Amino acid sequence: MGLTIAQKIIKNHLISGEMVQGTEIALKIDQTLTQDATGTMAYLEFETMGLKRVKTERSVAYIDHNTLQCGFENADDHRYIQTVAKKHGIYFSRPGNGICHQVHLERFGKPGKTLIGSDSHTPTGGGIGMLSFGAGGLDVAVAMGGGAYYITMPKMYKVNLTGKLSPFVTAKDVSLEILRILSVKGGVGAIIEWGGEGIKTLSVPERATITNMGTELGATTSIFPSDEITKEFLKAQGRVEDYIPLCSDEDAVYDRVIDINLSELNPLVACPHSPDNVVEVSSLKGVKVNQVCVGSCTNSSLQDLLKVASLLKGRKISDDVSMSISPGSKQVLSMLSDSGALADILASGARILECACGPCIGMGFSPNSAGVSLRTFNRNFLGRSGTKDAGVYLVSPETAVAAAIFGEITDPRLLGKAPSIKMPKKFKIDDSAVVSPASEDEAEKLEVLRGPNIKPFPSTTAMENKIDVTVGLKVGDNITTDHIMPAGAKILPYRSNIPYLSKFCFSVVDENFSERALSLKSSVIIGGENYGQGSSREHAALVPLYLGVKAVVAKSFARIHVANLINASIIPLTFKNASDYDEINQGDSLSLENLFDGFEKGEVILKNNTTGKEYQLNCNFTDRQIKILKAGGLLAYTKQGE
């Protein structure tokens, strides 16, 4: 039987387990990346392992999420990451050099290799045929130390593209179309391979837009073949030697095949507050727009911004719209500037923001009250923009420009002639904002500088066989990590300060949760389907751990979050009968007995002491996961092994 692209890479990196769907496999990781919002914690965890140097082929620490530095906290964290990176063999991408996924694609990603990153959009690397996964910081720390990365062997999906995109229809619309088809949980447990004749019409940045947003499907990752288009891109980045051809075998077997005819697609938009809430742009014609943002790791490539500049050239944005553009990297910004395109953007009245995540994670540029914001980003979760009552719509750069000019949601085809942008034969290469690690001798003498904002990791103890808990909170379906642990300019500087962060846990849903959980001392959260979707932030597990959350019982979970819960020794359990969810309420007193036997059997009994009823809960833990849970989390487990 032939192999898919992902299966080929997995086969080459398999450390243990067998490539049997649904079973645990351990992979060798070639490269890692971190960003600052998850990086501080990841490096603190790496340091506790006591290793001198990373064991990966390439590890890069990016500063891109929180670059505002309003106060010492961030500046200290940046300095900590820079010094810890230099000492331990990690490359450091300075603030201003760009968004981790964009820069990694440009300068470091390699087809056929494996990458894990402490950011859920790490699958962007699939755009050049790299098998890339988003993971919690602790998993990245372990991989930096040479340890394996554990995943459940995924199902294989294939999306076959035929035809060719029409003018003003873009890779972003392809991402939105697949979200429309599959929903935010339709990719759970699967790797999505993109293929078919249609991919020959898509450049690497366009492919990367698609693999980037595969995260919103809940997919384990997404990947394109590595072909002549990949080779041209790597050549233009001055690193053709990193190219290898890679495609699936003709007789590869897929669990599901989805066909999309690119020629039939129209401009699409995801409405508030979920990326799968997709309709055609034309159906929202006339909706007044207050704000337009272009950028984020989804749509901030040179190709995207050259198109935006060409459409803005000679035009003025509407007086009623405020427009921002955040280039994905220093390379993008300096090429925009050299080509004169930057001047066209500025002349239109749009504002240029830093090469960073910026408004995507609520770091400034929040919309006005009840504002309508059109964004080329990948997430429009409630409150993420920093304005709780704003409506965020996800669109392509072309649709964003049309709204900025006309002041209302407008089919971009009304802009006239579509820009035709060719990928450059050669990108401008300047890696001066990437600081190399010190040599091993030099590293010995280096001091790692820590600021007072770095607070200790929440402590854990070995798990007990019986747990008595109160339901601290009951939530519905598709709860995101932005609900559990919000980000944004006011909170992000405290990512290395779990006690402070804990005040904001679930604040979008229930402002009293944090206080209640602390007073309960030992609590459980009841969730619906796809609990924990979105970001890879392990803070969405570490903060509940600090607040005394012992278990989460949900109808189903998102992949990265479940791994983070186990790493933090919070037990993720699912209802055997989804309807039992209806019978458990906030404030109920519950007991989970005989846990250790239950873990082995894959079934735990939940007693609701308030109603006297009993329920069966499922768990499908591997031996390794059981040991981690019992030990009190992955750090405690790793220390036991020393």
Rule CB under 6 A: which residues touch ligand SF4?
Answer: 65, 99, 119, 121, 296-297, 357, 360-361, 377-378
**Of 327 and 598, which CB lies nearer to ligand SF4 in the complex structure?**
327
> What distance lies between CA 363 and its chain's CA centroid?
16
Answer for which of 4, 7, 102, 120 binds ligand MIC (CB under 6 A) is: 120
- 194 pairs with which residues across the strands? 159
The smaller minimum CB distance to ligand MIC, of residues 109 and 134, is found at: 134
C-alpha–C-alpha distance, residues 582 and 444, integer Å: 58
Report d(CA 456, CA 475) in Å as an integer.
Answer: 29
Question: What element of type H or E holds 503?
Answer: none
Question: CB under 5 to 8 A by kind: which of ligand MIC, ligand SF4, none does 38 bind?
Answer: ligand MIC
Give the interface segment with ligand MIC, choosing from 69-77, 236-244, 514-522, 535-543 (CB under 6 A).
535-543
- Considering the complex, what minimum distance in angstroms separates the CB of residue 38 from ligand SF4? 10
Scanning 113-121, 387-395, 506-514, 631-639 for contacts with ligand MIC by CB under 6 A, the matching segment is 113-121
Q: Choose the contact partner of 536 out of ligand MIC, ligand SF4, none; CB within 5 to 8 A by kind.
A: ligand MIC
Distance CA 543, CA 514 (A): 10
119 counts as binding ligand MIC under rule CB under 6 A: yes
Evaluate the CA torsion angle 286, 287, 288, 292 in order and state its sign. negative
CA proximity to 341, closest of 325, 354, 356: 325
The reply on whether position 121 binds ligand MIC by CB under 6 A is: yes
Residue 380, interface with ligand MIC (CB under 6 A)? no
Which amino acid is residue 501, in one-letter code?
Answer: L
To ligand SF4, the closest distance from the beta carbon of 610 in angstroms equals 40
Tally of helices (H runs) and strands (E runs) in the chain: 21, 27
Does residue 361 interact with ligand MIC by CB under 6 A?
Answer: yes
Q: What is the phi/psi pair of residue 362, to 5°?
A: 70, 20
Q: Which is nearer to ligand MIC, 202 or 487 (CB)?
A: 487
Helix axes 204-213, 228-236, angle to 10 degrees: 110
Q: Which does 296 bind (CB under 5 to 8 A by kind): ligand SF4, ligand MIC, none?
A: ligand SF4
Min CB(534)–ligand MIC separation in Å: 6
Structure tokens, 455: 């607070």
Residue 537 interface partner, choices ligand SF4, ligand MIC, none, CB cut-off 5-8 Å depending on type: ligand MIC
Closer by beta carbon to ligand SF4, 154 or else 358: 358
Residues numbered 131-170 forming contacts with ligand MIC, rule: CB under 6 A: 134
Q: Is 382 in the site for ligand MIC (CB under 6 A)?
A: no
**Sheet strands side by side (includes 221-223):** 221-223, 190-195, 155-162, 256-261
Distance CA 163, CA 197 (A): 7
DSSP-derived pairing of the beta strands 603-608 and 589-592: antiparallel
Give the nearest distance from C-beta 121 to ligand SF4 in angstroms: 5
Which residues, in sequence order, are CB contacts of 363 under 8 Å at separation 6+? Answer: 65, 66, 67, 68, 356, 357, 488, 489, 492
Closer to ligand MIC at the Cβ: 136 or 267?
136
Q: What residues numbered 190-249 form the site for ligand MIC, per CB under 6 A?
A: none
Looking at the Cβ atoms of 99 and 204, the one nearer to ligand SF4 is 99
Closest by Cα among 113, 135, 116, 128 to 8: 113
- If we measure between CA atoms, which residue out of 504, 531, 532, 508 comes closest to residue 384? 508
Stretch that binds ligand MIC, among 118-126, 254-262, 513-521, 617-625 (CB under 6 A): 118-126
Q: Which of 6, 10, 37, 336 binds ligand MIC (CB under 6 A)?
A: 37
CB of residue 63 vs ligand SF4: minimum separation in angstroms?
A: 12
CA distance linking residue 403 with residue 291, whole number of Å: 9
Determine, following the binding rule CB under 6 A, whether residue 536 of this chain makes contact with ligand MIC: yes
Strands of the sheet with 149-152, listed across from one edge: 14-16, 24-27, 149-152
Q: Which does 142 bind (CB under 5 to 8 A by kind): ligand MIC, ligand SF4, none?
A: none
Give the nearer residue to ligand MIC in terms of CB position, either 487 or 549: 487
Q: Apex CA 275: angle with CA 273 and CA 279, to 5°?
A: 95
479 touches ligand MIC (CB under 6 A): no
- Kindly state the smallest distance separating residue 64's Cβ from ligand MIC, in Å: 9
Which is closer to ligand SF4, CB of 171 or CB of 361? 361
- Of 594, 501, 513, the C-alpha closest to 549 is 513
Count residues near ligand MIC (CB under 6 A).
13
CA angle 144/150/155 to nearest 5° reads: 135
3-state SS, residue 4: coil
The answer to whether residue 483 forms part of the interface with ligand MIC (CB under 6 A) is no
Please give the Cα distance from 426 to 528 (Å, whole number). 49
Question: Which residue lies nearer to ligand MIC by CB, 38 or 203?
Answer: 38
Judged by CB under 6 A, does residue 487 bind ligand MIC? yes
Pick one of 31, 34, 38, 97: the residue that binds ligand MIC (CB under 6 A): 38
CB distance 453 to 494 below 8 Å: yes
Q: Which of 497, 524, 525 is nearest to 509 (CA)?
A: 525
Among residues 535, 564, 567, 625, which is the contact residue for ligand MIC, using CB under 6 A? 535
- Tokens 């050259």 locate to 306
How far, rounded to the nearest angstrom, does the alpha carbon of residue 602 sit from its chain's CA centroid? 29
Binding of ligand MIC by 326 (CB under 6 A):
no
Under DSSP, the state recorded for 349 is T
Q: How far is the CB of 121 from ligand MIC (least distance, A)?
A: 5
Name which of 114, 112, 110, 92 is nearest 39 in CA terms. 92
CB of 110 to ligand MIC, least distance (A): 22
| Rg of the Cα atoms in the chain | 24
Q: Considering only the stretches 51-59, 310-318, 401-409, 532-540, report the one whose residues sit in contact with ligand MIC under the rule CB under 6 A.
A: 532-540
212 vs 435: CA distance, rounded Å: 26
Residue span 56-85 as binding mask against ligand MIC, x where in contact by CB under 6 A, dash where not: ---------x--------------------
Smallest gap, in angstroms, from Cβ of residue 564 to ligand MIC?
10
Residue 99 binding: pick among ligand SF4, ligand MIC, none (C-beta 5-8 Å cut-off by kind): ligand SF4
Which residues are near ligand MIC by CB under 6 A? 37-38, 65, 119-121, 134, 361, 487, 534-537
